[in-house]
Structure 1
Amino acid sequence: MQAVDPSAADRTSWEAAVRHLYEDAFSFVATGPRTQKDWWADVLAVMERTVPDPRGWAGLDDTAGRRTTEVPAFPFRPPFKADPQRRLTPADVGQRLREIDRASAENLLLALTDGGCTLGNLRRFTESFEELQGMARTLLARYGDAFTCHTNVSVGARRDGTLDFGASHWGYTPMAFYGEDAGLVVVSDTEVGLFWTFDDI
């Protein structure tokens, strides 16, 4: 795939970057409208597939066929110790995410291209790291200049909001029914975007 211009966040380039980066992963990529100051509820609406993409752009949902009325946000779920019949709440979402900086978010989008949340996943691509980084920037460019990034991942997490992808291991706060899950939430004034990868078991 030809590298896309990171300053151009049009439908064609954004969808092409999503497909190219995540089509071989077990992924969930979707964007919904931000309607509240407390964006956790908006993230939950995207997880439950109750809102469409505000621009009509296509994401990915490899888990769509497995969700039920009882678990509308599948594969996302309440914390382990919660009543298994309890549905996910906005507070659950907020408690398991922490803010990271933009550079860490760019690298995280690349680490999410397969399970394990490591930049070693990039070995399967023929493009250079710089070209792949351009695709990650295209994904983020959709959300404008003033957005924040949040994740359940703690890859050598530091207090300054950075992730160390050179760490010998990675950690995360579970948010899914699968063995491991890692994701990024991008929050702008008008949209919330989710990029999630699962290790299917």
Structure 2
Amino acid sequence: MTHTDDARWSRSLRALFGEEMFAAVGARRRGDWRLDALDVMRSAKASSTAGSPDGPFGAVTPDDFTGVFPVSRSGAEQIVTTLQGEWFQADGIPDFSVRGAELTAHAGTVLGRFGRDALFFTNAVTARDDPHADMLRRDGAYEGLTGHVMDCGVIAVSATEVGVFWGFTIG
């Protein structure tokens, strides 16, 4: 890991991700980060959110990444924070006014693994027009990558790893 020890990173993942979410990291093996992200997504076959034998990302192809936009580190942290909220919004997280700073700190720990030079991508449409927008108060539109009612997430890319942190609205 780059800047975060294993125990701290694991604690932060547990604090942020529930059963309707996906968090996984894999090695960069190909020249195109999208193909590495796809490999990580396809590791989701055993996920409880799968809904199909191929997992939640089973039908995703490299062409689907046209609906993924660059986002700032701060924006990526905000999105990871909101994945547990209803419709992936800060307003949908119980006691967010009290817990928001703690949750955002956990998101910073999770994404800190990828180092200062990491790139971040999301399917939150707000990032298409402004990668530096306040993602806690973003529009609730997303370019879905899965067959779920709604999905949202962040892809973190470093020189050596790619991480996928995703939430799903099941019903």
TM-score w.r.t. the length of structure 1 is: 0.74
8 A Cα contact 2:26 2:36, kept in partner:
yes
Compared CA separation, residues 166 and 48, structure 1 to 2 (3 A): closer
Distance 1:44 1:132 in 2: 27
8 A Cα contact 2:3 2:115, kept in partner:
no
Residue equivalent to 1:91: 63
Residue equivalent to 1:187: 157
Residue equivalent to 1:9: 4
Distance 2:130 2:150 in 1: 25
Pairwise CA distance, 1:21: 1.2
Distance 2:5 2:166 in 1: 21
Residue equivalent to 2:17: 22
Distance 2:97 2:125 in 1: 28
Pairwise CA distance, 1:8: 5.8
Q: Superposed, which structure 2 residues align to 1:30-49 within 5 Å?
A: 30-49=24-43
Secondary structure class of the residue paired with 2:80? helix
Residue equivalent to 2:106: 135
Residue equivalent to 1:118: 89
Q: Which has the larger radius of gyration?
A: 1
Q: Specify which of 49, 53, 58 is matched with residue 63 of structure 1.
A: 49
8 A Cα contact 1:154 1:163, kept in partner:
no
Distance 1:159 1:147 in 2: 20
Secondary structure class of the residue paired with 2:88? coil
Distance 2:47 2:117 in 1: 27
Residue type of the alignment partner of 2:63: A
Residue type of the alignment partner of 1:12: A
Distance 1:140 1:172 in 2: 21
Distance 1:96 1:67 in 2: 22
Secondary structure class of the residue paired with 2:16? helix
Root-mean-square deviation over aligned CA pairs = 2.5
Secondary structure class of the residue paired with 1:116? helix
Distance 1:8 1:146 in 2: 12
Q: Number of residue pairs matched? A: 168
8 A Cα contact 1:114 1:197, kept in partner:
no
Compared CA separation, residues 47 and 97, structure 1 to 2 (3 A): same
Pairwise CA distance, 1:40: 0.8
Residue type of the alignment partner of 1:29: A
Which has the larger displacement, 117-126 or 187-196? 117-126
Q: Structure 2 unaligned runs (5+)?
A: none
Pairwise CA distance, 1:67: 3.7
8 A Cα contact 2:85 2:91, kept in partner:
no
Compared CA separation, residues 187 and 8, structure 1 to 2 (3 A): closer
